[in-house]
C-alpha cells in the first residue's frame, strides 16, 4: 500500500495521524490515552520514513530548507514525548504534543514555497557540522515541548486562580508537575543548544568566513535568552506565570528566527529544485 510513496506523501500521512491523535484527545478529553499514544506513535513512524527518504536523497540530515527544519523540529518534539512522555502520566500532554506536531508539519506542507528548492550537500560530508545542525534543531523541538507545557501551566494557573477547576481543566496535570517538567525541558534544551553552538564554534574558528554575522547575531542571543531564563528560574527570580510566559514567547522568537537563519547560510549552498510528488 505504501510502496512508491514520495517523502512528502509519507509526511502528509504522518501529519494526518498527528492531527487524528490530537482530535481524538480533544473529543474524548484525554480518556483514550492508549489510542492517542498509538496514533501519535504511528504518525511518528511515518514521519521517520519520510525524513529518512529525504535524508537518503540528500546524503545527510534533512535540514536543507524551512520545510525540512519545521518537519525536523516537530519530529524532535515527538521523539522527546514518545521517549520520556509516559513518565509525565498525562495524556493531555500527549495529544497537545501531537497537536504541536500536526501544526508544524501541516504548516510546512501547506506552503509549497518552503519546499520548492533545497540546499544540497549542506554539510559538505562533515558529520560534525551535521551533528551541530541536528542538535540545534533538536533543541528547538525541546523548546517547542517546553512552550507547550508552559501553555498548560498557564491554563492550570488560570483555572486555580479563577477557581474554575471543572470540565477541560480537570485533565490538566498539577501545577507543580508542569513547573518541574518545564525546568527539566529548559535545562535539556539549553544544554543541547549549547552543545550545538560549541560544535558550530569549532567549525567557525577554522574559517570565520563560513558563518555570517547575521546567523551568529540570531542564534547566539536565542541561546543566551534561554540560558538567562534558566538562571533566573533556578535563582527563584523568574517564577510561575512569568516563567511560563517567558518560555512561550522565547519559543515564538526562536521559531521566527529559523527563517532568517536558514536564509543566511554562507557561502550560499548549491540549491536544487524539488520536483512535485
Partner 1 sequence: MSAPGFFVLGATHHTAPLALREKLALSPAAEAALAAELADAAGLRELASLATCNRVEFYGVAADAAAIARVQAAFCAGRGFDSAEFERVRLSLTGPAAAQHLFEVAAGLDSQMLGENEIFGQVKDAYAAAQARGATGPVLNRVFQKAFQAAKHVRTHTAITAGQVSVANVAVDLALNIFGQLDQTRILVVGAGEIGEKTVRAFQSRGARSLAVSSRSGERAMELATALSASALPFEQREARLAEFDVVVCSTAAPETVISRASAEAAMRVRPSRPLFFIDLAMPRDVEAGVADLTNVFRYDLDDLAKIAEQNRIARAAEVERGRELLRARVAALWPRIEALLADGAAGAAAAAFRQHPA
Rg (CA), the chain: 19
Closest to partner 1 by CB, 48 or 169:
169
What is the closest distance, in whole angstroms, from the C-beta atom of residue 87 to partner 1 in the complex?
12
Q: Please tell me whether residue 110 binds partner 1 under the rule CB under 8 A.
A: no
Contact letters (x/-) for partner 1, 134-173, by CB under 8 A? ----------------------x--xxx-x-xx---x-xx
Pull the grid cell for residue 38: 498509538
Closest to partner 1 by CB, 7 or 179:
179
Strand bridging mode 117-119 / 271-273: antiparallel
Q: Please tell me whether residue 179 binds partner 1 under the rule CB under 8 A.
A: yes
Number of residues that bind partner 1 (CB under 8 A): 21
What is the closest distance, in whole angstroms, from the C-beta atom of residue 32 to partner 1 in the complex?
11
Q: Please tell me whether residue 87 binds partner 1 under the rule CB under 8 A.
A: no
What is the closest distance, in whole angstroms, from the C-beta atom of residue 79 to partner 1 in the complex?
25
Contact letters (x/-) for partner 1, 202-241, by CB under 8 A? -------------------------------x--x--xxx
Closest to partner 1 by CB, 161 or 206:
161
Residues that bind partner 1 (CB under 8 A): 156, 159-161, 163, 165-166, 170, 172-177, 179, 233, 236, 239-242
Amino acid at each position: 500500500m505504501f510502496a512508491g510513496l514520495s517523502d512528502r506523501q509519507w509526511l502528509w500521512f504522518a501529519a494526518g495521524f498527528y492531527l487524528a491523535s490530537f482530535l481524538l484527545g480533544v473529543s474524548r478529553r484525554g480518556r483514550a490515552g492508549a489510542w492517542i499514544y498509538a496514533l501519535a506513535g504511528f504518525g511518528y513512524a511515518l514521519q521517520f520514513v519520510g525524513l529518512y527518504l529525504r535524508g537518503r536523497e540528500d546524503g545527510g540530515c534533512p535540514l536543507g530548507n524551512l520545510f525540512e527544519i519545521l518537519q525536523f523540529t516537530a519530529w524532535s518534539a515527538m521523539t522527546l514525548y514518545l521517549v520520556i512522555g509516559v513518565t509525565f502520566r498525562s495524556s493531555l500532554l500527549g495529544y497537545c504534543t501531537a497537536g504541536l506536531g500536526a501544526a508544524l508539519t501541516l504548516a510546512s506542507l501547506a506552503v509549497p514555497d518552503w519546499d520548492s528548492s533545497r540546499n544540497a550537500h549542506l554539510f559538505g560530508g562533515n558529520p560534525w557540522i551535521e551533528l551541530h545542525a541536528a542538535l540545534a534543531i533538536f533543541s528547538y523541538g525541546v523548546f517547542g515541548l517546553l512552550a507547550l507545557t508552559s501553555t498548560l501551566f498557564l491554563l492550570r494557573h488560570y483555572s486555580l486562580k479563577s477557581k474554575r477547576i471543572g470540565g477541560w481543566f480537570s485533565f490538566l496535570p498539577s501545577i507543580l508537575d508542569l513547573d518541574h517538567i518545564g525546568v527539566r525541558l529548559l535545562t535539556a534544551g539549553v544544554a543541547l543548544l549549547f552543545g550545538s553552538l560549541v560544535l558550530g564554534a569549532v567549525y567557525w574558528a577554522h574559517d570565520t568566513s563560513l558563518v555570517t554575522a547575521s546567523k551568529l547575531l540570531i542564534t547566539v542571543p536565542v541561546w543566551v535568552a534561554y540560558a538567562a531564563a534558566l538562571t533566573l528560574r533556578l535563582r527563584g527570580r523568574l517564577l510561575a506565570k512569568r516563567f511560563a510566559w517567558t518560555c512561550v514567547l522565547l519559543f515564538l522568537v526562536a521559531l521566527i528566527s529559523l527563517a532568517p537563519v536558514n536564509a543566511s547560510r554562507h557561502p550560499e549552498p548549491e540549491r536544487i529544485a524539488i520536483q512535485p510528488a
